[in-house]
Structure 1
Amino acid sequence: MSLPESDRELITAELGREPTPAEANLFENLWSEHCAYRSSRPLLGAFHSAGEQVVIGPGDDAAVIAVPEPAAADTPAAERDPDEYSETYITLGIESHNHPSYVDPYDGAATGVGGIVRDTLSMGAYPIALADSLYFGDFEREHSQYLFEGVVEGISDYGNSIGVPTVAGSVDFHADYEGNPLVNVACVGLTDEERLVTAEAQQAGNKLVLFGNATGRDGLGGASFASEDLDEDAETEDRPAVQVGDPYSEKLLIEASETLIDENLVQSARDLGAAGLGGASSELVAKGGFGAEIELDRVHQREPNMNALEILLAESQERMCYEVTPEDVDRVAEIAERFDLGCSVIGEVSEGNYTCTFEDEVVVDVDPEFLAEGAPMNDLDAVDPEPAERDLPDADLNEAVESVISNPNTASKRWVYRQYDHEVGVRTAMKPGDDAAIMAIRETGGDRADRDADGSGTGLAISSGANPNWTSADPHGGARAVALENATNIAAKGAVPLAAVDCLNGGNPEKPDVYGGFKGIVDGLAEMCSDLSTPVVGGNVSLYNDSEAGPIPPTPTLAMVGTKAGYDAPPAALSGEGELLLVGDAGDSLGGSEYLNAAGGSDAFPTLPENPADLVATIAEVARAESTLATHDVSHGGLAVTLAELLTADAGADVAVDDAVALFDETPGRVVVETTDPESVREAFDGVAAVESLGEATADGELSLTVGDETVKLGAEAVAELRDVIPETLE
């Protein structure tokens, strides 16, 4: 990729001269789609980002959200008073590392984890949880399995080494990801008002300190690489653009950051990600309305004879840019030495331009605001996809049930999450494998021992994911469904939504049909989150996910958090002692379902409920009831998969439904509830949504499904074998 001629003309007019090579490359990266959102920013105004709980919204390294007091944690955010929020804050951010994970799945995924963790550190927060949503080509393909195994290993090795638990996420397989997998990683951090730091420079004369690992040549041009289609030679030719991670240095950086924040030594901070030092330092001062004077020779380096461009744009990992007062510089250096990390005073915040010198020569001298915010937006054509018509297959019921339960998209992901240390940090109250994870959020303040003591008693539920079958069938409706499903996951564990961040993935936006699909997921996600009164407080956009195999499906990964009083929640496992109810309105169609994916055919996408906020709040209320024994949402694979996942060796279900549509419909906003008080559930949903009696939980560990006049019976062992398709195939 090189600087487009139209951009070069604009830059030349602004500078009054031709840009230097360093400036041209800096503009190329910071004005790339990856950094400047040139095709997506015109659409992002659709998102509602405000709320009493929002301390810092979009635009910083991560969003900051106030956590409600335990007494108010069960109250929907729209009904909560401003004074019911505590002094405890969480940070929430999400990033993509898609192209790097195709070229080098292990390092691409690992450094994606490292980057989002440093976004958390730059807000003065301590990382407490990760969620990863992963998308690959057909599972049967050897190349997809290679990428899948490498990505999971990279996330596991990095996350486990730095001591941050991976507690939530999703894995999906779809043919259109074959040439371009997606790796989307979210991170939750913990901080408070006194510890909060932003990426906005505070005062001219303060020093700029590069802190952490030495700078090498890895990751050069990563931002521009992420803004172009992958070609067939990407796995070899683009490898230098992939960063190499060092989790042990990252762990030291996490602990050093805690010390720096404890001692109030950081005025502002930005992690070094896309466009390296040039991106981090210029954006930091631009946000504060300042300039900078940087001497690139001062940067501590791990390779000899690096030139100005390499120092400026290398995306070497485990590095932070801190603004520090002159009197605190020596103490910051002492802390760096204590943690065996590098530390360079590379310049200072100024009142003028953003300037960089190398070997006594000025190599960059530009207006920082023009550099950071001056990229012109793209005005692109969009074509909406045609809706599907109903053409349902005549499939054998037994074969259909087994096929859907054993599909890699709906099968057990235990092989994945068992590789992650999801209990480190002793906050994980509900582990992976359920609808949502739950983290214990306790009071902050004081030293870490005090912060880890029992305190606030607020549970933070976390759900993350998307569904490419849904958004392929209907980008707008599918994205609405993705938002509702994540909210339902949280509600099924008794929590109410608090906030969300999104990672919007699409193909080449210059193609009208691709841009139309992307516009559809933006509008759909924004509409449903607004209907749920859940602010979207930040996110990431990744476009040009296109390859020789074609564009990816429009993929709106959503990471949503919610709160509840306490940490207990009903499990997604039957007790065998209650009545089974299905709460929520069915959509009566199968568009985007795994059933049609397996059996063939087409259908319209299901109609979603018109009152999602009331629906989600009522699901959460019922989930918190003492009479509720188990809860599990209905989504991927429909009711058939939900019941299979609820099955245990000691508890089964005897269920009857009218037809195959009822069994395989994937309309979100529905939950199977095992309860000892079915009447109270019906009363709670009166005027909100339908409540259907499915049958009884049993104590025999068998799933009996009657559909019309046909019955399918599967024991717990047989279901477990069907759902273990991933480890059985990989081993």
Structure 2
Amino acid sequence: MTHTFNDTVEAAQQQPDLEQPFASLGLKDDEYARIKEILGRRPTDAELAMYSVMWSEHCSYKSSKVHLRYFGETTTEEMGSKILAGIGENAGVVDIGDGNAVTFRVESHNHPSFVEPHQGAATGIGGIVRDIMAMGARPIAVMDQLRFGPADAPDTSRVLPGVVDGISHYGNCLGLPNIGGETVFDASYAGNPLVNALCVGTLKVEDLKLAFASGLGNKVMLFGSRTGLDGIGGVSVLASDSFEDGAERKLPAVQVGDPFAEKVLIECCLELYKAGVVVGIQDLGGAGLACATSELAAAGDGGMEINLDAVPLRAANMTAAEILSSESQERMCAVVKPEDVDRFKEICAHWDVTCAEIGEVTDGQHLLIRHKGELVVDAPAHTIAHEGPVYERPFARPEWQDELQQLQAMPRPATGEELREALLKMVGSPALCSREFITNQYDRYVRGNTVKAQHADAGVLRIDEETGRGVAVSADASGRYTKLDPNMGARLALAEAYRNVAVSGARPIAVTNCLNFGSPEDPGVMWQFREAVHGLADGAKELGIPVSGGNVSFYNQTGEEAILPTPVVGVLGVIENVADAIGHDLDATEEEVLFVLGKTGDEFGGSIWQDVSGSGLSGLPPQVDLANEQRLADFFVGNTLLTAAHDVSEGGIAQTLVEMAIRSGGGLDVDLGEVHEDLFVALFSESASRAVIASTADNAEAVASRAAECGVPITRIGRTIQDRSFKAAAGEVVVETAMEELEATWKATLPGIFGHAVGANSVVE
């Protein structure tokens, strides 16, 4: 039977046996059968497009739902009391007091960033910013979590510069400061880089907006950029040649972003909110109009009718399926009362934002969509948005896990010269070297409210200029730890992000996440995922802070080789006065006393030393007791006795001390014998729940007393010195080198590898 592009509901009823390419759209036989059961007939092209994208892994979480429910099961009423919008919304929203709220979320744009690094990363920033806008908030900052293949691999020189340029271009054009992030290199990411973008926004509690369509007769307004063919790729029904013989439509799979259009859209949205003309709102990201219309209708109290002929287009002869599946950027969809439509249009016109009335809220539960005067979609909205398949995929602990957890032999330098060489090798490694090559391409201080960004453990932002109240945000992950022990790896990611926020002087209050894993069809990957979810959920409960939302990215693998399981965990904290935020720059002009907080053990499983020394990956990761992290937070919050603080994590105390000293203009003289008798362990162990702190000599006793009151182990290790040298000892073993050599080694690596690819807007120091 010949297929026609003008596939209507009437045609679907009259041609029930028409063959459709559901398999090429990612639908299984039973899923296609379920769609026909719901509709009582075969789907139209447009309906098939909507169900295929909305029932995809990306939109429906069909392989992860059964495990993600555990977050809700472990969240107590007390933990959730400050959450204004949580799991299931566009972004989590947290009440931070005095009528202020903060929203934050992190989301992946991994596969597009491999295909087209610049646009993939840029539109990742654009998408997460619109998630924040959809909550009624003003976006105020972005962060990024990046994972690439080996730094010196040929394809990394293509992907990394493009990704960084895409992030900097879009974020800088929006006028949003990039306040932190992480860049990791590992062979497992060579064919699957991870680009996880985080955005923070602020709003008044009463200005919270949600995605729902309610109010019979209310109008559906589409505004922002016009809808084109970009971003359809494999999700559109008509990307398949089987729909029209000889009609090859080469559609770009990666969206094309316009940050200037989004900047105007932000201001337009904020004025619409202020004018009180928005009942409900949804951004258009993954699955485009298919997602926005079905989710708005499903979350509302009625149905919805849409006329695709009213959608502003930037390509001729687009079909209904293409219009619905397009992921063109910089678009929003709002529900507006009839009496407010004129004012809505006026505001859009003021900002020169294209706006169109494309439908209205109806009674019943159906989503009705017309194109060229014909009915092309007639389906219950909730079945598209919320009744996708739910898979309880098999999971099993991999047979190789026990062997992997057996710690293999590794070099253990013992003499002063061996340790000096190890120190230089570590600080100059791609794992630990300076990220200035990347971060100097970002504007960190635009908008004037950035308090801490580069050279800080967490990004700190001023929220209230009158009171000085602000927030601190950090996001962390270790795929190496998580592969060794997924449950503990997720806990360690949570612990590090929590600690980074606490070390800045803020009280951690909420968690978000982006869970990056291989194929869910692999029982070993599903076991990793389940373990990580439980580790994160149980850990959040132990810390008493809720998980406000998250994202799952599956199928990150090349052939049979999955990426390291990478649960990125973001933590948000509140600081009463940003003037009290703690940085980690030492001051060589006045002698400072140095302490180590926490206990150091011989813990090298998954460590950077293990990697840099060529010892592979083996053993158990560091073990974390989250009660110790809470005690550390108690020590730091409101602490005005400190001149500097820096958490201890990858690279151990050695890396922490080097980073603190490099910008001081002076040096360090420390004795780590009381930290651990083996100087190698004292320098490079990655035991959790530790920090290095500094204070003036006259505050040293008070600092020690406060640590004792909080139950935090504290060890005085030495002092800053004006001489530009680094000296660390334990017993008879001494490591000594010039700070100039450490700094030069630390700064040279990435420019040496990627300097040829520096963008026009890049700065390398």
**TM > 0.5:** yes
Judge which range, 265-274 or 50-59, deviates more: 50-59
Distance, in Å, in 2 between the alignment partners of 1:485 and 1:431 is 17
Q: Which residue of 2 aligns with 1:451?
A: none
Q: Which residue of 1 aligns with 2:13?
A: none
Q: Which residue of 2 aligns with 1:650?
A: 665
Alignment check: 8 A CA contact 2:49 2:236 kept = no
Distance, in Å, in 2 between the alignment partners of 1:222 and 1:198 is 30
TM superposition shift of 1:707: 4.6
Distance, in Å, in 2 between the alignment partners of 1:500 and 1:537 is 6
Alignment check: 8 A CA contact 1:496 1:616 kept = no
Q: Which residue of 2 aligns with 1:198?
A: 210
Q: Which residue of 2 aligns with 1:427?
A: 449
Q: Which residue of 1 aligns with 2:406?
A: 389
Give 1:460's match in structure 2, choosing from 428, 447, 471: 471
Deviations 1:552-590 (A, max 9, x none): 111111121101121132321222422211101334311
Alignment check: 8 A CA contact 2:499 2:647 kept = yes
Structure 1 residue 186 and structure 2 residue 173: aligned?
Answer: no
Alignment check: 8 A CA contact 1:412 1:726 kept = yes
Q: Which residue of 2 aligns with 1:401?
A: 423
Structure 1 residue 63 and structure 2 residue 79: aligned?
Answer: no
Judge which range, 99-108 or 568-577, deviates more: 568-577
TM superposition shift of 1:257: 0.8
Q: Which runs of 5+ in 2 are unaligned?
A: 1-23, 238-248, 756-765
Question: SS in structure 1 opposite 2:150?
Answer: coil
Give 2:383's match in structure 1, choosing from 370, 373, 378: 370
Output aligned runs, 1:407-446, within 5 Å.
Answer: 407-442=429-464
Give 1:357's match in structure 2, choosing from 359, 365, 370: 370
Distance, in Å, in 2 between the alignment partners of 1:222 and 1:490 is 40
Q: Which residue of 1 aligns with 2:524?
A: 513
Q: Which residue of 1 aligns with 2:497?
A: 486
Output aligned runs, 1:171-570, within 5 Å.
Answer: 171-221=183-233, 240-352=252-364, 353-384=366-397, 385-386=401-402, 388-394=405-411, 395=413, 396-442=418-464, 454-548=465-559, 550-568=561-579, 569-570=581-582
Deviations 1:378-397 (A, max 9, x none): 11122223352233423432
Q: Which residue of 2 aligns with 1:696?
A: 719
- Cα RMSD between the aligned structures? 1.9
Distance, in Å, in 1 between the alignment partners of 2:121 and 2:720 is 41
Q: Which residue of 2 aligns with 1:590?
A: 604
Q: 1:222 to 1:627 in 2, by over 3 A?
A: farther
Alignment check: 8 A CA contact 2:215 2:301 kept = no
Alignment check: 8 A CA contact 2:106 2:514 kept = yes
User: Which amino acid is the alignment partner of residue 535 of structure 2?
Assistant: G
Distance, in Å, in 1 between the alignment partners of 2:734 and 2:599 is 24
Q: Which residue of 1 aligns with 2:682?
A: 662
Alignment check: 8 A CA contact 1:32 1:224 kept = no
Q: Which residue of 1 aligns with 2:20?
A: none
Deviations 1:499-552 (A, max 9, x none): 121001101011111111122221222222222111110111111111247211
User: Which amino acid is the alignment partner of residue 384 of structure 2?
Assistant: L
Q: 1:221 to 1:354 in 2, by over 3 A?
A: farther
TM superposition shift of 1:222: 6.6
The alignment covers a number of residue pairs equal to: 690
User: Which amino acid is the alignment partner of residue 390 of structure 1?
Assistant: L
Q: 1:13 to 1:429 in 2, by over 3 A?
A: same
Alignment check: 8 A CA contact 2:623 2:688 kept = no
Alignment check: 8 A CA contact 1:647 1:702 kept = no
Distance, in Å, in 1 between the alignment partners of 2:666 and 2:639 is 21
Question: SS in structure 2 opposite 1:45?
Answer: helix
Alignment check: 8 A CA contact 2:49 2:235 kept = no
User: Which amino acid is the alignment partner of residue 552 of structure 1?
Assistant: I
Give 1:580's match in structure 2, choosing from 594, 619, 630: 594
Deviations 1:200-220 (A, max 9, x none): 222121100110000000011
Distance, in Å, in 1 between the alignment partners of 2:250 and 2:430 is 30
Structure (1 or 2) with the larger CA radius of gyration: 2
Distance, in Å, in 1 between the alignment partners of 2:691 and 2:235 is 42
Q: Which runs of 5+ in 1 are unaligned?
A: 68-84, 226-236, 443-453
Q: Which residue of 2 aligns with 1:234?
A: none
User: Which amino acid is the alignment partner of residue 647 of structure 1?
Assistant: A
Deviations 1:324-375 (A, max 9, x none): 1111112222222222221111101112201111112211111111111111
Deviations 1:424-480 (A, max 9, x none): 1111011222101110011xxxxxxxxxxx323212111112122221222211111
Distance, in Å, in 2 between the alignment partners of 1:525 and 1:32 is 25
Deviations 1:11-37 (A, max 9, x none): 111211111121112111101110111
Give 1:673's match in structure 2, choosing from 693, 697, 709: 693
Deviations 1:611-661 (A, max 9, x none): 14532323424xx43331111000011111111101135232122332222
Judge which range, 206-215 or 624-633, deviates more: 624-633
TM superposition shift of 1:177: 0.3
Q: Which residue of 2 aligns with 1:230?
A: none
Distance, in Å, in 2 between the alignment partners of 1:528 and 1:406 is 33
Question: SS in structure 1 opposite 2:155?
Answer: helix
Alignment check: 8 A CA contact 1:356 1:363 kept = yes
Distance, in Å, in 2 between the alignment partners of 1:29 and 1:612 is 44
Q: 1:653 to 1:140 in 2, by over 3 A?
A: same
Structure 1 residue 23 and structure 2 residue 53: aligned?
Answer: no
TM superposition shift of 1:414: 1.4
Alignment check: 8 A CA contact 1:505 1:556 kept = yes
Deviations 1:149-205 (A, max 9, x none): 101100100011111111121111111000000111111111113322111222121
Distance, in Å, in 1 between the alignment partners of 2:328 and 2:123 is 10
Alignment check: 8 A CA contact 1:152 1:416 kept = yes
Distance, in Å, in 2 between the alignment partners of 1:614 and 1:432 is 25
What percentage of aligned pairs have identical amino acids?
39
Distance, in Å, in 1 between the alignment partners of 2:145 and 2:70 is 23
TM superposition shift of 1:610: 4.8
User: Which amino acid is the alignment partner of residue 593 of structure 1?
Assistant: S
Distance, in Å, in 1 between the alignment partners of 2:593 and 2:685 is 21
Give 2:62's match in structure 1, choosing from 35, 38, 45: 38
Deviations 1:257-313 (A, max 9, x none): 111111111111000011100111110110124211001111000111111111111
Q: 1:481 to 1:239 in 2, by over 3 A?
A: farther
Distance, in Å, in 2 between the alignment partners of 1:219 and 1:208 is 23
Structure 1 residue 618 and structure 2 residue 622: aligned?
Answer: no
Alignment check: 8 A CA contact 1:630 1:673 kept = yes
Output aligned runs, 1:162-173, within 5 Å.
Answer: 162-173=174-185
Distance, in Å, in 1 between the alignment partners of 2:460 and 2:388 is 40
User: Which amino acid is the alignment partner of residue 631 of structure 1?
Assistant: A
Distance, in Å, in 2 between the alignment partners of 1:653 and 1:222 is 56
User: Which amino acid is the alignment partner of residue 439 of structure 1?
Assistant: L
User: Which amino acid is the alignment partner of residue 247 of structure 1?
Assistant: P
Distance, in Å, in 2 between the alignment partners of 1:57 and 1:409 is 34
Question: SS in structure 1 opposite 2:252?
Answer: helix
Judge which range, 127-136 or 140-149, deviates more: 140-149
Alignment check: 8 A CA contact 2:220 2:334 kept = yes
TM-score (norm 2): 0.87
Q: Which residue of 2 aligns with 1:629?
A: 643
Distance, in Å, in 2 between the alignment partners of 1:372 and 1:337 is 32
Distance, in Å, in 1 between the alignment partners of 2:94 and 2:234 is 30
